[in-house]
A and B are shown apart, each in its own frame.
Chain A
Amino acid sequence: ELKVEQNPLFLSMQEGKNYTIYCNYSTTSDRLYWYRQDPGKSLESLFVLLSNGAVKQEGRLMASLDTKARLSTLHITAAVHDLSATYFCAVDGTGGGADGLTFGKGTHLIIQP
């Protein structure tokens, strides 16, 4: 069974601080995706990481992928309130040879002034 584990699942932090969300997965997939979801909204694609060592950055968010460790990180630099959301990581496949993505449970991030 393919598993994707995120931690923490809930994070409350102050504006201006740095923090990292971790995503561990059990497959040998070398493709990993990060999504953002605002309450009651759809999922917005943040990053697509397609190879070992891939690093992508946009604004205060930076994502990286280590396929050997089966680990991806989403780093938040100098957090601002607008980054409050739920963040999901996902990997290709669903463990039974099926197409599609397997998602982590999400990290609910609250950034307080």
Chain B
Amino acid sequence: NAGVTQTPKFQVLKTGQSMTLQCAQDMNHNSMYWYRQDPGMGLRLIYYSASEGTTDKGEVPNGYNVSRLNKREFSLRLESAAPSQTSVYFCASTPTRDSRAFFGQGTRLTVV
């Protein structure tokens, strides 16, 4: 019963470095999402994918790119990391739009 799995769990990057956050779900869900959580704030949507092969911008997409590799996997890429991207990143999936979202354990990213 893995659910939503994110890797890595922790990462420290230097400004300007790039990296990809991985997310995979084994529940056969159609929709997948990337959120970021900053202290004192709720989660904010970065990108989402309503189905395999489609991706769309959320509330805070600048500085990020995504790939929906297949139905299971949805990756988030930072091409040139900035300190403002220091955050906890959560991947989530849902079977349908009005279903509850299942969240991964999060990736704690620090950009120095």
Contact = CB atoms under 8 A, between A and B. Distances in A.
A105 B56 contact: no
Interface residues of A, number: 25
Given A43-B90, A104-B42, A99 B103 contact: no
Given A99-B56, A101-B43, A43 B103 contact: yes
Contact of B48 (A33, A95, A99, A104): A99
A16 B57 CA distance: 45
Contacts of A50: 98
A45 B42 contact: no
A74 interface: no
Contacts of A45: 100-102
B45 interface: yes
A100 B33 contact: yes
Interface stretch (A57-65, A77-85, A86-94): A86-94
Nearest to B31: A99
Contacts of A103: 42-44
Interface string B54-88: 00111100000000000000000000000000000
Contacts of B50: 99
Nearest to B91: A42
A42 B104 contact: yes
Contact of A101 (B56, B101, B105): B101
A94 B45 CA distance: 8
A106 B45 CA distance: 15
Contact of B59 (A33, A88, A94, A104): A94
Given A33-B100, A100-B58, A106 B42 contact: yes
Contacts of A31: 98
26 contacts: A4-B42, A33-B100, A41-B105, A42-B90, A42-B103, A43-B43, A43-B103, A45-B100, A45-B102, A48-B98, A48-B99, A90-B43, A92-B97, A94-B59, A96-B59, A98-B56, A98-B59, A99-B31, A99-B33, A99-B50, A101-B43, A102-B42, A103-B44, A105-B41, A105-B42, A106-B42
